[in-house]
Amino acid sequence: MKRLKQLLIVILVLEVIFCGIYVKRRLWNHHVVLPAVTLDDPLLAAEFQQLADQAATGGSAEWQALGEGLLGQGFYGEAEHAFRAAVDIDPSNYMAHFALAFCLDRTGRIAESSEEYLKAAEIQRKSKQLVGSVEHCLYQVGKNHLREEDAAAAIDSFASQAGFAPASYQYAKLLVRDGKVDRAMPVLKMELDKTPLSLKFNALRLQALESTGQQRLADEAADVLQRSQYQIPIDLNTDYVTPMNQRLGISRQLQEYNELLASGDMDLLAKHLQSMWEVVEPTTLNQKSKILISMAEVAFQRRRAEEMLHAVDRLKELGVSSPDMLQLEGAAYQLNGDIDRAIALWIRASEMSPNIPLHQILADAYQQKNDDARRDYHRGQAALLEAKLAYWNNQWEPAKQAAQRAIDVDPSLDQAWFYLAEIERELGNPQPALEAYQKCLELNPNHGRALAAESRLGEKEVDSE
């Protein structure tokens, strides 16, 4: 018995040794491949090398981290190599399988990509995250079928994932395209019951109704579409790649800056931005404009007009002429006491990108100049934007109050009358709605939406008599 125990111990030790040798050999079989260029980001080369050093002495997780760093910067070929090492070392690493499939997908090897997505889908997992989930893997296979122009296989793939919103959308879209609206409508109803204001599903429902000549229902669907929002992620690639992009290089430093904003420490933020600027100034990176805008914003909080104007001058040298830049340039001249120059810049910014705070700033500026007419115009514009925002979010009473405020300060706003009419109609008040449509048309006889809505409402009133 004693000899048997000793023999078993020897066998066990040998197994451990051989397993260790096997694993070590598998690790030795992989070598790092890094890109020859680093996209003009001076931070990337050192960070790639650090990940590579960790992968060379690490396991599947370290190779996956290297692959994700490369993938996030768009180096799909080099990332593929790292992910192949990760799945070779640990075949149960489903996210490495998914990432390998994604790299193959991005480089046009569609059939091979689908095989890897299916491998990833078969692996058991505890995580509940959407990206890399079984549903996501099968959805990507369906998308690959579309790229191969195999609509029948795509339909079967998407149909097998009932309840997964991106797949439901693609399934219903293919059915509507093929004229099979009767099969698409239950799918659309199922998803709209869950997310009634989904922009994608409401747009598809409108298309389906119009294709079958159901005009009254289509008009109602068009009303809902006006208030819908992008709520369902149809292309999950951005959700997958963006976090990886933010882990390295100047993108990582920008992400760190965004996290520092909560501190409210303007001196710390200014120091961080200056450090980033010293890195990117000699480069051609598109993040330069983001950093300069942030520098101007922080300088405004510190009441440093000259620093703001210096950042604006740098932006102009880069060829930037954005609403944000114009608004910040105006704020700098306001700090310097040049309100007329500030107003001129703010008006240009509001014409490019109207927004509530900017119209309120202009209203205050004209109040300072005792120009009541222009003050009321911008107050009306701010209130109208508030009404639209509340309307799009189905907040009827706040929308009605804001529309009425816009009319009170500027009764000539035909859009304010139009939205008041729309809101009254949604509230079930046909007569006030009709009167508001008519007032809108008195101010603007060519307002197409008001003409159509007044006509439909008038028909309903006749039908009800």
Give the tens place of pLDDT for each residue, 315-363. Answer: 999 999 999 999 999 999 999 999 999 999 999 999 999 999 999 999 9
Alpha-carbon span 360 to 49, nearest angstrom? 51
Does the structure show a pLDDT above 70 at 5?
Answer: no
Alpha-carbon span 23 to 25, nearest angstrom? 5
Which residue, among 249, 200, 183, 221, has the nearest Cα to 44 in the 3D structure?
249
What confidence tier does 407 reach under pLDDT thresholds 50, 70, 90?
very high
pLDDT in tens, 212-263: 989 888 888 888 888 888 777 777 888 899 999 999 999 999 999 999 999 9
Give me 65's structure tokens. Answer: 């981290």
Residues near 424 by Cβ (< 8 Å), separated by ≥ 6? 400, 430, 432, 433, 436
DSSP class of residue 229 equals B
Is the separation of the CB atoms in 200 and 169 below 8 Å? yes
Does the structure show a pLDDT above 80 at 310?
Answer: yes
In a domain, 375, yes or no: no
Is the separation of the CB atoms in 77 and 64 below 8 Å? no
Is the separation of the CB atoms in 70 and 78 below 8 Å? yes
pLDDT of residue 28: 47
Going from the C-alpha of 442 to that of each of 25, 264, 387, 450, the distances in angstroms are 83, 50, 21, 11
In a domain, 384, yes or no: no
Rounded average pLDDT over 79-108: 95
pTM for the whole structure: 0.80
Alpha-carbon span 192 to 204, nearest angstrom? 11
CA dihedral sign, ordered 312, 318, 319, 325: negative
In a domain, 456, yes or no: no
In a domain, 179, yes or no: yes
In a domain, 234, yes or no: yes
Distance of CA 91 to the CA centre of its chain: 33
Does the structure show a pLDDT above 70 at 400?
Answer: yes
In a domain, 163, yes or no: yes
Overall domain count for the chain:
1
pLDDT in tens, 18-58: 455 444 444 446 888 898 877 788 999 999 999 999 999 99
In a domain, 71, yes or no: no
pLDDT of residue 453: 83
Percent of the chain with pLDDT over 90: 75
Phi and psi at 303, nearest 5°, equal 60, 45
Residues near 135 by Cβ (< 8 Å), separated by ≥ 6? 161, 164, 167
DSSP class of residue 204 equals H
Does the structure show a pLDDT above 90 at 124?
Answer: no
pLDDT of residue 14: 52
Across all residues in the chain, what is the average pLDDT? 90
Domain range for 208: 151-240
In a domain, 302, yes or no: no
Does the structure show a pLDDT above 90 at 398?
Answer: yes
